[in-house]
Structure 1
């Protein structure tokens, strides 16, 4: 499901979309601070809005569910594609699919700077 970065999600609760990528829509690339990626993995272990089943990556053939591990506990894996990660800053709540981690790792997706700043501010090392 595609939503342009930093637009309001259509459910009307005011959350702001980040990382809702889909084939046929361009996205920003260029890498991501590894600290942001690791904090997103941490958040994926306790996600929001869990769904039934898994969404697959439309950019590659990696089989779902895609699993990743973080720097905190490299032996602990989390499945991606069945929930959202919410990050709050002073003005808004960002909502990203857990697959954002895979998009960063495998496809070079670069989330918006305001989102990355909120991740680092809310979840400092």
Structure 2
């Protein structure tokens, strides 16, 4: 996976042949959480607000820019020998954290794009995104991923809405 410094302009995988509706909709999106083991990143031993983590999970449930294949966490000491995919379970739903991106758009329209592993990086490797990202997450509106999925899979959108309502 590529490394990009936090709060720099998103430029990853912009391919005019594929067309990228997300990039077209949010051309000023900023990078968050594109970590690399060779680059230092901010950490915190203070656990993040559980309500914000739930909001992040709701966005993670609707990834954008799904890619072929999947990615192992390069920050973990060793990858699973069986090639197991990085995932978490929430109720009866399993979320894979190894393929795609998370899009968070704050009320003022500022967009942030992160690898779908962001939740893993925060909860396992203690990565601390910049405060402006947490503020946008706190105020976030439904992501483009949610809007696209709403048309194709309304029951999944309802699941994410219930999750967001449970956190206030």
TM-score range, shorter chain: 0.7 to 0.9
**Contact preservation (8 Å) 2:9, 2:30:** yes
C-alpha RMSD of matched pairs (Å): 1.8
Q: Which has the higher contact order (CA 8 A, sep 6+)?
A: 1
For the structure 1 residues 112 and 66, does the alpha-carbon distance in structure 2 shift closer, same or farther, using more than 3 Å as the test? same
Residue 32 of structure 1: how far off its partner (Å): 2.2
Residue aligning to 1:39:
55
SS in 2 for 1:68: strand
**Contact preservation (8 Å) 2:36, 2:74:** yes
Structure 2 stretches lacking a partner, 5+ long = 15-22, 142-163
Residue aligning to 1:24:
38
Match of 2:68 among 52, 62, 65: 52
SS in 1 for 2:134: helix
Give runs of ≥4 in structure 1 deviating > 6 Å. none
**Contact preservation (8 Å) 2:87, 2:98:** no
Residue 91 of structure 1: how far off its partner (Å): 4.4
Structure 1 stretches lacking a partner, 5+ long = none
Residue 121 of structure 1: how far off its partner (Å): 1.0
Structure 1 CA distance, aligned partners of 2:129 and 2:34? 10
Residue aligning to 2:140:
122
Residue by residue over 1:94-120, the C-alpha shift from the partner in whole angstroms, topping out at 9 and shown as x without a partner, is 001110011011101111111111111
Residue 38 of structure 1: how far off its partner (Å): 1.5
Count residues in correspondence: 122
Greater share of strand residues, 1 or 2? 1
Larger radius of gyration: 2
Residue aligning to 2:99:
82
TM-score, normalization by structure 1 = 0.87
TM-score, normalization by structure 2 = 0.66
**Contact preservation (8 Å) 1:32, 1:111:** no
For the structure 1 residues 77 and 19, does the alpha-carbon distance in structure 2 shift closer, same or farther, using more than 3 Å as the test? same
